[in-house]
Amino acid sequence: MFYGTAAYASSEILLKKEYKAAPAEIWTIGVLLSYLIGGISPFQDIQDAVGGRISFTEDVIGKLSDEAMDLMRKCLDPSPVTRATIAQVKAHPWLQQSFNSKI
């Protein structure tokens, strides 16, 4: 049973399928990344979320580097089997570059 916020729910949760916590939390990381960088949800509606169809306006796209968008896509993969793992997120070049530039 899911007791979270629908805006952060992974595609498998929205489809009311059984889910594993780890891939579902990676999805949430992707949604949070969208809000932190772009200031908006990566999806216009639930159908887009279920299909993993990220859509942004041109002004938001201008804020996202190719690497940030790549990480977001990997986190928001609608298939929990091929979605990024936490190890892949931690090792992603965008996160490594962002982290290393702040130290």
Let me know if domain 18-102 sits in CATH 3.40.640.10. Answer: no
Distance CA 36, CA 33 (A): 5
What number is the average pLDDT over the span 74-96? 95
Rg (CA), the chain: 13
Lowest mean pLDDT among 7-11, 69-73, 80-84: 7-11
Tell me the pLDDT tens digit for each residue of 25-40: 999 999 999 999 888 8
Nearest in space to 33 (alpha carbons), one of 66, 82, 76: 76
